[in-house]
Amino acid sequence: MAASAAASSTPSMRRYVERAAAAAESLVSRRAELVAPVIEACRGARGHAAACAPSRLVIIASGSSFNAAQMALPFMRERLGASCPVEVTTPFSYVHFSDAPEPSALALVVTQSGRSTNAIEAIDKLREQCVRAVCVTGDASSPAAAHADVAVDYGVGEELVGYVTKGVTTLVTFLCLLAMGLSGSDEGLAELERALAAAWKATNLAPGFVERHFKQLTSMQVAYICSAGAGMGVSLEGALKIGETVHIPCMVSELEEFIHGPNLQLTPAYTVFMVDPGGSASKRAWQVFEACRAVTDGAYLLTSDESRKDDPCAFVAPRVDPALVSLAYLPFFQMVSAMVSEALGSERQHPLVGRFKEIASAKVRDEQ
């Protein structure tokens, strides 16, 4: 009864989850327009139609933007190859621990809201280093965009909920399109389109899965998300979303590392999501999943292997290019977060969190 009531309501976060794949698909037809400012910044001059990959691409991002970059990273590295290594770091690490990139490199500071104080600090650091500061944002009129030399709107459109979902899916897509633009080739476009179609299907399948496991998922106390390779990006974002909406500890572990210590804390009260990265790693992922379900009924497998479709604890997403598995699984974690937090009313923060934000703010305040 409770599950039906939860499903019948459509919270705003869930609406954005439902719209995310379509919003990302709409970027594909606009790809030349969207990535052109970055390519122009890379070349250092306007009016050049041909792509020009930098010697190195450094993506500076935090929170969900960092996770989106991690999700896109395997695909970007495939497209750009060894001639243009791609790195992802956080603004804090860049400001305090990184040297200026070489003149032939390209640094992108990514912030959906454009209001993150650490992103603004990273932009200012780049300018101090006499490096062209390119800000990729969802709001070209934001404070971060104003600090940058070049501001690029990546096409997310409006997303008014603080727990971003549509912005993540569209950012992953934009970064993949950017890699193709910098490479000067549309190779990989068909694989990206298939991954977005898989995300559509996963978005439609996820609510039913949550309904079937409603009692267990709304009773989560501590959770782990385990994966490897290209599945680590979505694991990071899944943990962030569950942590910030359901308000429980949710940790990420590489699946083999999980059984070298973290597994010793397991009890029947734990929840474990095993994200199958595919390929030769699948066998081990399934083995660790089965070991977890021997301890807890809250063990779930995300996989694209149709042989697991009759397992009630397996969420089977369409098979996609191995570098894009995170896109196929992303709606699952977004929907779990949206539906469970709505059912529990857990989005409301403890009143003392307000004091925390007064002491250590992450966003530019309105009065500033």
pLDDT tens figures, 153-193: 999 998 888 899 999 999 999 999 999 999 999 999 999 99
What average pLDDT does this structure show over 71-93?
97
- 2-191: CATH, from 3.40.1190.20, 3.40.50.2300, 3.20.180.10, 3.40.50.10490: 3.40.50.10490
Q: Show Cβ contacts of residue 182 under 8 Å, excluding neighbours closer than 6 positions.
A: 35, 38, 39, 42, 51, 52, 53, 54, 57, 79, 80, 84
Average confidence score pLDDT of the chain: 93
Residue 45 binned pLDDT confidence (cut-offs 50, 70, 90): very low
- pLDDT of the residue at 12: 81
User: What gap in Å lies between CA 204 and CA 200, rounded to an integer?
Assistant: 7
Residue 44 binned pLDDT confidence (cut-offs 50, 70, 90): low
pLDDT tens figures, 60-70: 999 999 999 99
pLDDT tens figures, 234-253: 999 999 999 999 999 999 99
Tell me: pLDDT of 102 over 50: yes
CATH architecture of 199-344: 3-Layer(aba) Sandwich (3.40)
Do the two domains 2-191 and 199-344 of this chain adopt the same fold?
yes
CA–CA distance from 309 to each of 28, 215, 278, 305, 318 (Å)?
31, 21, 15, 8, 11
Q: Show Cβ contacts of residue 12 under 8 Å, excluding neighbours closer than 6 positions.
A: 160, 161
Q: Show Cβ contacts of residue 189 under 8 Å, excluding neighbours closer than 6 positions.
A: 28, 180
* Domain range list for the chain: 2-191, 199-344
pLDDT tens figures, 80-89: 999 999 999 9
Question: What DSSP element (H or E) covers 275?
Answer: strand 270-275
Quote the strand ranges of 5-141, DSSP E.
57-61, 86-89, 106-111, 134-137
pLDDT tens figures, 6-41: 444 444 899 999 999 999 999 999 999 999 999 988
Burial 321-353, CB ≥16 within 10 A → b, else e? bbbbbbbbbbbbbbbbbbbbbbbbebbeeeeee
- pLDDT of the residue at 2: 44
- pLDDT of the residue at 347: 79
The pTM assigned to this predicted structure is 0.93
